Structure 1
Amino acid sequence: MRTLTFLLALWVLWPVERALAWWDEGHMQIAYVAYKRLNPTVRDRADVLLKLNPDYANWTAGAPVGQEKLYAFVHAATWADDIKTKPDYYDDQVTDSTAKENVPYGHLKHSYWHFKDTLFSADSTPLPAPDPVDAVTQLKLMIATLPASSNASESLRSYDLSWMIHLVGDLHQPLHAIDRYSASISNPGGDRGGNEEKVIPANGETLALHAYWDGLFGGYSSVFGAIYDADHGGVTSVTPDGAKAQLLDPETWAQESFELAKTFAYAEPIRTDKQAVELIRAYETNARDVARKQAALAAARMANLLNELLK
C-alpha cells in the first residue's frame, strides 16, 4: 500500500522524469466524476474493457457490494503511475524504438507518456528540439484504437483505456505541459515542469514546485476517500465550462495547460533558479482555484470523449 511518504521518496529517486501528476487523490476524483457522466451503455463497455486489466482484482478488493465497477474505474486512474513501482515493469527512454509502441499490457513504464513539454525560455536561453513522443502523441494513438471500427484487439483497447483515464488528468495539470529553460537553472533538460524550483507553502514544507501542484488535491488516498472528497468540496464543487468541455483534442488541452502554467504556476514569487521561496496567499489561492477548475474540466472532457469513442 502506497503512502504519501512513499510517493515523495519515489519523486526523489526519479531525477530524470516527472512526479506523479495530481497524485492519487486528483486522478481518482477526476475519474469518479467522469464515470458518473458516462452514458449507461458506454459505462458498461468501459467496465468490460477494464476487467481485462491484470490489476482488476486489486481494484475491486474491498469495494462495497454493487460498487465494484465504479471502484475499478476510479482506481484505474492511478494504474499508469502504479506500474512505475512494479518490479516486472522496466524503464525505457523516449529515444528508444519502443517509445511510441502501443502494445497491450507490455512491461514498459513509458514514463515520458505522462507529459507534453512545450518548451519555454524565461531569458532567451536556447531551446532544444522537443521530444517526439509525449502524452499528446500517445493519447491520439489511443483515441484511434478505442472505437469498434479500429479493429484493435480487446486487450489493446483495455490497455489504452487504462492509460487514457490517467493521461486525460495528466494533461490538465499545468506543469505537465511545460518545460522552462533559463540560464540560472542551468539544467540540460530545463526545469522539468517545475521540478527544479523549490517552494515553501503555508504548511512550512519545502518541496518542488511540481510536487506542490501535484499535491493540491492531497496525496495517497483510498477510492472511498477520493469519492468522499470529490463530493464534499472537491471536483464536483466546480461546474466546468460547457463549451470547453466539448473540446476533445489533446493538443488543445496541452496548450491550455501551457498557458496556465506560464500565468499561474510560474507567477510571483516563483523564481528562475533553485532557491526555495515562500508562497504568498494569493499564489496558493489561485493555484487551488486553477486546480479545481482543471480537474472538473478534465472529468467532463474524459466523459465526453469516452461517450463518443465507446458509443
Structure 2
Amino acid sequence: MTTLSTILIWQYPAFAWNKAGHMVSGAIAYNDLQQNHQEVIKKIAAILKEHPEYSKFEQQWNSLNKSNISAENQNLYLFMWAAKWPDEARTNQTFNHPTWHYINFPYQPSSSSSSIPTEIPGEENIIFAFKKNLDIVQSNATNSEKAVAICWLFHLVGDVHQPLHTTKLIINQYKEPEGDRGGTRFYIRVNPDSQTISLHKFWDDLILGSENFQTVRNTATKIRTSYQRSKLPELKETKFNNWAKLESFRIAKQKVYLDGKLSGSSNKNDGKLLPQNYAASAKPIAERQMSLAGYRLADVLAEAVR
C-alpha cells in the first residue's frame, strides 16, 4: 500500500480538511505575512492572547517546548492553533457552530451544471459565518470576542477551499434535500485491500496526517515552494463567496465527482473502488487549494486588522 493510501485510511473526524491540514494553512499565512506584513502578525498574536481558551494553546505550546521548539516559533504555532481551534471547540456548546463549516450547493449532473449556484437567504452557512466574524474583527468588540472571530476566519478560509464543503451531489442514489451531504455519505475505497471511507474524508486527509509541529511547518514550506503566490492567477479573485461558488464548487463537479461519472456506494461498509489515477490526480489539486487558502488568509488578516 502506498504512503498516500496509508494516510488516507487513518481515522479522523469528518472535518473540512483535518486539523493538521488547517494547521498547514495557518503556517502558510504566517510565513507570507512574515515576508510582507510582520506588523499584522504582532497585532493578531496580541489579540489571540486574550482568547477565552488561550490557556489551551499555552498547554500545547508548553508540551512542544519539551521537544526543543525554539521560542521564536511561538507565534507560528499560535497561527497553527488558531486555524484548528474551531474543530477543537466542537465539544464546547459556547463556541460550536456546526453549520458554519460548509455550504451545500446542489450539484445535479443530469441538469444544467453551468449556472452559478445561489445561496439560501438567512442560512447560517460558511458564507454567512465569514461575514459575521469579519464584521466582529472590524468592530469595537472586545479583544476576547475578536480572538474567537479571528480563529473562525482562519478556519473558514481553510474550509471553503475544500471542495466538498461547498457541494452536495444530487442523484437517484442521493436524493434531495440532503444529497450525499458533501461526500460524507459517498463511500469509496482507495485500493482493493483498503478499508471503506467517505469521499469527504478522502479529500480531508489529502494534505497531511500529522499535527507534529515540524511536519506541519515542512509541509507548509513545501506547498509554498511548489505554489508560489506570483504564479497563482486565482488570487485575483478576492471575494469569499466566489471562492465557494466559482472555484470550489467547480472543482467538486469536475475533479471530485468527475462530472458525475465517479461511482460511490451508499453502504458505509462496502465502498466503491476509486479509479486508478484518482488519488494521484487529487493530491496536487488539494495542495493548490491549500496554498490559495494560506495566501488568501494572509490577505484577509492584513485587511482585517490594518
Q: Same fold (TM over 0.5)?
A: yes
Distance 1:269 1:235, change over 3 A: farther
Kindly tell me: are residues 161 and 236 of structure 1, through their superposed partners in 2, closer, same or farther at Cα, counting changes over 3 Å?
farther
Match of 1:76 among 74, 82, 103: 82
State the 1:272 CA deviation.
5.8
Residues 236 and 31 of structure 1, relative CA distance in 2, 3 Å threshold: farther
SS, match of residue 11 in structure 2: helix
One-letter amino acid of the structure 2 residue matched with residue 60 of structure 1: W
* 1: CA distance, partners of 2:274 / 2:263: 11
Q: 2:264–2:272: 8 Å Cα contact kept in structure 1? A: no
Give the partner amino acid of 1:173. Answer: Q
Q: Does 1:109 align with 2:120?
A: no
Residue pair 1:113, 1:138 contacting (<8 A) in 2 also: yes
Structure in which a larger fraction of residues adopt helix:
2
Partner of 1:228 in structure 2?
218
Match of 1:45 in 2: 43
Aligned to 2:262: 270
Cα separation, partners in 2 of 1:176 and 1:68, compared to 1, 3 Å: same
**Selected match of 2:189 from 193, 196, 200:** 200
Rounded Cα–Cα distance in structure 1 between residues aligned with 2:261 and 2:170: 17
1:94-173 equivalences in 2 (<5 Å): 107-123=94-110, 130=120, 132-147=123-138, 150-173=139-162
- Cα distance, 1:157 vs structure 2: 1.1
Instruction: State yes or no: 1:257 paired with 2:252.
Output: no
Contact 1:165 1:302 in 2 (8 A): yes
Do the aligned partners of 1:172 and 1:257 also contact (CA within 8 Å) in 2? yes
Alpha-carbon contact 1:114-1:134 (below 8 Å) kept? yes
Task: Work out whether residues 188 and 265 of structure 2, in 8 Å CA contact, stay in contact via their aligned partners in 1.
Answer: no
Aligned counterpart, 2:228: 239
The answer (yes or no) to whether the contact 1:174–1:261 under 8 Å persists in 2 is: yes
Q: Secondary structure at the match of 1:145?
A: helix
- Please state how far the C-alpha of 1:220 moved relative to its aligned partner: 3.9
The question of whether the paired residues in 1 share the 8 Å contact of 2:265 and 2:272 is answered with no
Distance in 1 separating the partners of 2:177 and 2:244: 22
> What amino acid does structure 1 have at the position aligned with 2:109?
A
What TM-score do you get using the length of structure 1 for normalisation?
0.80
Does residue 305 of structure 2 align to residue 310 of structure 1? yes
**Range 163-172 or range 50-59, more displaced:** 50-59
Q: Are 2:65 and 1:33 equivalent residues in the alignment? A: no
Could you tell me how far apart the structure 1 residues matched to 2:168 and 2:182 are?
5
**TM-aligned CA deviation for residue 185 of structure 1:** 2.4
1:181 and 2:187 are equivalent in the alignment: no
SS in 2 for 1:49: helix
Paired-residue identity, %: 27
Q: Look up the equivalent residue of 1:46 and give its one-letter code.
A: I
1:114/1:235 CA distance change after superposition, 3 Å = farther
Instruction: Provide the rounded CA distance (Å) in 1 between the counterparts of 2:210 and 2:181.
Output: 23
Q: Which runs of 5+ in 2 are unaligned?
A: 1-6, 112-118
Name the aligned partner's letter for residue 245 of structure 1. Answer: L
Aligned mates of 1:180, 1:286 — CA distance in 2: 20
Structure 1 position 74, deviation (Å): 1.1
Q: What amino acid is aligned across from residue 181 of structure 2 in structure 1?
A: R
Q: Determine the C-alpha separation between the residues in 2 that align with 1:173 and 1:212.
A: 11
CA distance in 1, matches of 2:295, 2:216: 17
Instruction: Give the Cα separation in 1 of the matches to 2:292 and 2:40.
Output: 19
Q: Secondary structure at the match of 2:106?
A: strand
Residue 174 of structure 2 aligns to a residue in which SS? Answer: coil
Give the CA deviation at 1:36.
1.1
Q: Report the Cα offset of residue 33 of structure 1.
A: 0.9
Could you tell me how far 1:242 is from its partner in structure 2? 4.4
